[in-house]
């Protein structure tokens, strides 16, 4: 009986592992199409007469839409299962690219952003990985999605730069639509209806996808609200730089689409190394609280470096610590938050985590555009330095105080 049980467990573990590998592939493809889109939108926006502030408004629109959609999408995934959630996200991406392909007016650039309310392939992938991985291995499993992010960043940026330079924005957007349709087929073929131990609740349940109370109640679990606030406050300054980078590359560094693609590919290589070879080893040796402190401290130094950079070469020197701090910070905070809630609510929790990124994209473009136009690129880096140093000191004092109390 025990032998049969052991064989069953081994078979179940193999099945879980295979599903996780498929999810990694879907995530890598999705990131590829998204970075392919980044090679289109800034240049198309410039052709249609957008200046820095209006491009900021466009990015803010995406942030607002995804801010509203993220928590609801996470709740939707908890209720209806992984396959339905991922299918919805991939189908929305197809529509997104088709609208981008026919965008020939400034208003169309805003309209094509509407499907982003459901475009949460990466958070949905995180949900599946969180459901299928053991709690003690969750941070490492989630970090591998960052490896997929690096692969997609390299492939999408390089491919997008070449396609946009040689064939134009419309053809590049059509390639993104076809690629997203292929991702949808992978979901329908290989992802099970649900990846949770418990069966997902149906829509006949009294609990609704749109129940704000069901979403916000997660903040009442121990440690969740504090970690969530840290994720928002410490992540905001670096988020401003990220959403403004396409404009910085275009106007400050004067990069052409193909050059921008190579730079983004460099980002991807760095991220692949960090996510694939560094984070797993760090999480195995050090506590999550220690790694959170480390990532925030490094981020503050990155902000200082970005404040005084003058050219692409100097920026490239800051990329390694920047990608390290971002990768560790996002993986550790997501892992800490999902461990703080019941397994039946991991989707909703990751939806809330995704909404943090959307909040950064909502506030970031407008704030970043204002700072860049009025005070220059150095102001963005200095704000990151000051904010992250303040968060670092606060967390360090809290940790020292806790250690002292335990000794007493």
* SS3 state at 118: coil
Residue 194 CA to residue 134 CA, distance in Å, equals 17
Task: Check residue 3 and give its pLDDT.
Answer: 66
Residue 169 CA to residue 108 CA, distance in Å, equals 14
Confidence (pTM)? 0.73
Tokens (6 digits) for 189? 């073929």
For the chain, 408 residues long, give each residue's pLDDT as a single digit of tens: 466 666 677 777 788 888 989 999 999 999 999 889 887 888 888 888 887 678 777 877 887 888 788 778 888 888 888 788 899 999 999 999 999 999 888 888 889 889 988 898 988 888 888 888 777 777 778 778 877 877 887 888 788 888 888 888 899 999 999 999 999 999 999 888 877 765 444 444 445 565 667 667 788 888 888 988 999 899 888 888 887 777 777 777 777 767 777 787 788 788 788 877 888 788 888 888 899 999 999 999 999 998 888 888 888 888 899 989 998 998 899 888 888 888 778 778 888 887 777 777 677 777 887 888 888 888 888 999 999 999 999 999 988 888 777 776
SS3 letters for 343-400?
HHHHHHHHHHHHHHHHHHHHHHHHHHHHHHHHHCHHHHHHHHHHHHHHHHHHHHHHHH
CA dihedral 390, 393, 394, 396 (to 10 degrees): 150
Domains of the chain (ranges, CATH numbers): 13-197+210-407 (1.20.1250.20)
- Please state, as a whole number, how many other Cβ atoms lie within 10 Å of the Cβ of residue 6: 10
Task: Check residue 209 and give its pLDDT.
Answer: 61
Contacts of 206 (CB under 8 A, 6+ apart): none
Task: Check residue 181 and give its pLDDT.
Answer: 95
Task: Check residue 215 and give its pLDDT.
Answer: 66
């Amino acid at each position: 009986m025990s032998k049969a049980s052991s064989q069953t467990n081994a078979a179940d573990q193999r099945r879980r592992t295979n599903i996780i590998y498929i999810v990694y592939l879907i995530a890598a493809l999705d990131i590829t199409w998204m970075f392919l889109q980044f090679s289109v939108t800034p240049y198309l926006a410039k052709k249609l007469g957008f200046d820095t502030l209006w491009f900021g408004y466009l990015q803010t629109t995406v942030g607002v839409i995804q801010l509203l959609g993220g928590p609801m999408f996470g709740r939707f995934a908890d209720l209806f299962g992984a396959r339905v959630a991922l299918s919805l996200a991939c189908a929305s991406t197809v529509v997104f690219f088709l609208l981008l392909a026919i965008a020939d007016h400034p208003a169309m650039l805003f309209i094509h952003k509407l499907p982003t309310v459901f475009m949460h392939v990466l958070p949905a992938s995180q949900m599946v990985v969180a459901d299928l991985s053991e709690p003690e291995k969750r941070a490492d499993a989630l970090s591998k999605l960052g490896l997929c992010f690096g692969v997609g960043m390299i492939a999408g940026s390089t491919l997008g730069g070449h396609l946009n330079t040689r064939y134009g924005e419309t053809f590049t957007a059509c390639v993104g639509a076809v690629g997203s349709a292929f991702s949808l087929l992978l979901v329908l073929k290989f992802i099970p209806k649900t990846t949770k131990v418990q069966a997902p609740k149906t829509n006949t349940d009294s609990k609704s996808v749109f129940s704000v109370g069901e979403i916000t109640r997660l903040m009442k679990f121990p440690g969740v609200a504090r970690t969530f606030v840290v994720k928002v406050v410490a992540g905001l300054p670096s988020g401003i730089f990220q959403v403004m980078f396409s404009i910085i590359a275009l106007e400050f560094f004067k990069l052409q689409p193909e050059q921008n693609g190579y730079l983004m590919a460099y980002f991807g290589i760095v991220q692949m190394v960090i996510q694939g070879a560094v984070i797993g080893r760090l999480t195995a040796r050090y506590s999550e609280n220690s790694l959170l402190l480390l990532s925030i401290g490094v981020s503050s130094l990155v902000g200082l470096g970005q404040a005084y950079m003058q050219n692409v070469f100097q920026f490239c020197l800051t990329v390694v610590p920047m990608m390290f701090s971002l990768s560790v910070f996002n993986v550790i905070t997501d892992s800490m938050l999902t461990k703080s809630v019941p397994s039946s609510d991991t989707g909703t929790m990751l939806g809330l985590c995704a909404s943090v990124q959307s909040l950064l994209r909502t506030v970031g473009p407008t704030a970043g555009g204002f700072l860049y136009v009025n005070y220059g690129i150095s102001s963005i880096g200095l704000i990151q330095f000051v904010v992250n140093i303040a968060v670092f000191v606060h967390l360090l004092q809290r940790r020292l105080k806790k250690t002292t109390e335990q000794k007493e």
